[in-house]
Amino acid sequence: MSHPLDNIPLLPHVLSMDYDVIIAGGGLNGLTLALALDSAGIATVVIDAFAPQESLSPKFDGRSYALSAASQKMLDALGLWEDLAHHAEPMLEIKVSDGAAGGTPSPFVMQFGDEDFSLGPMGFMVEDRHLRVRLAQAVKASNVTLRSGQTITNQTIHSTHVTVVIDGHRPITAAVLVGADGRNSRTAHTAGLTRTGWDYNQSSLVCAISHEKPHHGIAHQYFMPSGPLAILPLTQNRSGIVWTEQQQVAQNIHSLSDADYLDILRPRFGDFLGKISLAGSRYIYPLSLSTTHRMIAPRVALVGDAAHAVHPIAGQGLNSGFKDVAALAEVLCDTKRRGQDLGIQTTLAEYQKWRGFDNALLCAATNSFNRLFSNNNPLLRGIRDLGMGLINAAPKLRKNFVATAAGAAGNPPRLLRGEPL
């Protein structure tokens, strides 16, 4: 009588592979995944097209991230948070309301505070430059192989492994290829993983400001007719600004002098934090929805923007990528412990099942929120104001909302619970 485990494919012994996993892309998701896999003894190489000095410049892209509590737990479990903590600003309160430039905010608001954050802050604001540098330092001190300034020019899937060709270098082999190479992912395209999506005809103006008065850890989100304006608490009496306008309007504002730029921002920002001034450079990012129909192909998996790029209206882009990282690392780690081939279809299908629906739901939700809130239709304004008021008056709904945004809802992977692999 055969045993149920007899037909499970084990790690191939005939082929001596260079690595267990090849990661295409050395951004935040790619490096975090590499560190997670390394913590479980999975031999990993990261192929990154950018040279180190490009991605580690303190003025690389001006972004900061609203890390959920679950993302913070993962960084802590990977040994990264201790050095990041003094660069992080906890979000102690969140206020959401309708607004208009120079106008009075709607009296119907959603406000989340101590009574809703039973397990500590809902999240933390961390600047891109600090997070990126800390990841690079950790990778350098790990067993991960980082090949910067190199480009994968071809990938070939075999029954037992995947081979990638790197321009000017010999091919390398592994059990799995992970695409962490952004929304224009070459990995996804070559694997036949098609995308769908559309342009929002919006752009986000991103900067940091200094202000006279302390923010007290309060994050603000105003839903303006042209798009959301987020004011997010940073360290040292500064706030990160994510200011969405119609694409041409945003481009016109971005081209202004710093003084004229601030003149347009001030009536939207208000005076509740006193005088404001720019702290650093300004950036602009066009917004679109772009998602793959599937996150896996034979011996290929996608994480982060390579699989799904969403509107920043909910601030969940990086958090969603970190959920991918945690889930994929867990299924690969468990597969390795069973002594199986990391690239078998059942393992990758488990990852697809775990993350596919959640990512589709996030894409649908952010798209719907943007359509509902980025307009000045009196009827829709009334509906959304009433909805916010009802949620704010219902403690249970607020707690559920916070649990979802903090990444604690459902069945999160071990890393997102702060547990090691």
pLDDT beyond 60 at 124: yes
pLDDT beyond 80 at 136: yes
Residue 228 domain-assigned (yes or no): no
What CATH number does residue 355 fall under? 3.50.50.60
Please give the span between the terminal C-alpha atoms of the chain, in angstroms, as a whole number.
35
Residue 182 domain-assigned (yes or no): yes
Burial class (CB in 10 A: 0-12, 13-18, 19+), 77: buried
**What are the φ and ψ backbone dihedral angles of 361, each rounded to 5 degrees?**
-65, -40
pLDDT beyond 60 at 375: no
pLDDT band at 157 (very low <50, low <70, confident <90, very high): very high
pLDDT band at 325 (very low <50, low <70, confident <90, very high): very high
Output the pLDDT for position 155.
Answer: 97
Secondary structure of the chain as H, E, C letters? CCCHHHHCCECCCCCCCCCCEEEECCCHHHHHHHHHHHHCCCCEEEEECCCHHHHCCCCCCCCEEEEEHHHHHHHHHCCCHHHHHHHCEEECEEEEEECCCCCCCCCCEEEECCCCCCCCCCEEEEEHHHHHHHHHHHHHCCCCEEEECCCEEEEEECCCCEEEEECCCCCEEECEEEECCCCCCHHHHHCCCCEEEEEEEEEEEEEEEEECCCCCCEEEEEEECCEEEEEEEECCCEEEEEEEEEHHHHHHHHCCCHHHHHHHHHHHHCCCCCCEEECCCCEEEEEEEEEECCCEECCEEECHHHCEECCHHHCCHHHHHHHHHHHHHHHHHHHHHCCECCCCHHHHHHHHHHHHHHHHHHHHHHHHHHHHHCCCCHHHHHHHHHHHHHHHCCHHHHHHHHHHHCCCCCCCCHHHHCCCC
| Structural domains in the chain (count) | 1
Cα 5 to Cα 3: distance, rounded to the nearest angstrom: 5
**Of 188, 384, 184, 410, the residue nearest 301 (C-alpha):** 188
Full domain range(s) for residue 83: 14-198+287-417
pLDDT beyond 70 at 404: no
Output the pLDDT for position 166.
Answer: 95
Residue 58 domain-assigned (yes or no): yes
Residue 366 domain-assigned (yes or no): yes
Output the pLDDT for position 329.
Answer: 98
Top-confidence range, 26-30, 94-98, 202-206? 26-30
Between helix 317-337 and helix 69-77 the angle, nearest 10°, is 40
Global pTM reads 0.87
The larger pLDDT score, comparing residue 8 to residue 319, is at 319
pLDDT beyond 60 at 328: yes
Residue 9 domain-assigned (yes or no): no
**Of 345, 33, 314, 315, the residue nearest 181 (C-alpha):** 33
Between helix 395-405 and helix 378-392 the angle, nearest 10°, is 100
**Which of 29-38, 180-189, 315-324 is predicted with the least confidence, judged by mean pLDDT?**
315-324
Output the pLDDT for position 167.
Answer: 87
pLDDT beyond 60 at 244: yes
* Residues 296 and 306: beta-carbon distance below 8 Å: no
State mean pLDDT over 82-102.
83
pLDDT tens-digit profile of 102-120? Answer: 555 555 667 777 766 766 7
**Which of 4-13, 223-232, 246-255, 338-347 is predicted with the least confidence, judged by mean pLDDT?**
4-13
Output the pLDDT for position 11.
Answer: 44
pLDDT beyond 80 at 43: yes
pLDDT band at 188 (very low <50, low <70, confident <90, very high): very high
**Of 139, 137, 158, the residue nearest 147 (C-alpha):** 139
Q: What percent of the chain has pLDDT over 90?
A: 60
pLDDT band at 86 (very low <50, low <70, confident <90, very high): very high
Residue 250 domain-assigned (yes or no): no
pLDDT beyond 80 at 315: no
Output the pLDDT for position 120.
Answer: 74
pLDDT band at 395 (very low <50, low <70, confident <90, very high): low
**Which of 92-96, 134-138, 152-156, 417-421 is predicted with the least confidence, judged by mean pLDDT?**
92-96
Output the pLDDT for position 314.
Answer: 56
Top-confidence range, 27-36, 52-61, 109-118, 409-418? 27-36
Output the pLDDT for position 159.
Answer: 95
pLDDT tens-digit profile of 256-296? Answer: 999 999 999 999 888 999 999 998 889 999 988 888 999 99
pLDDT band at 6 (very low <50, low <70, confident <90, very high): very low
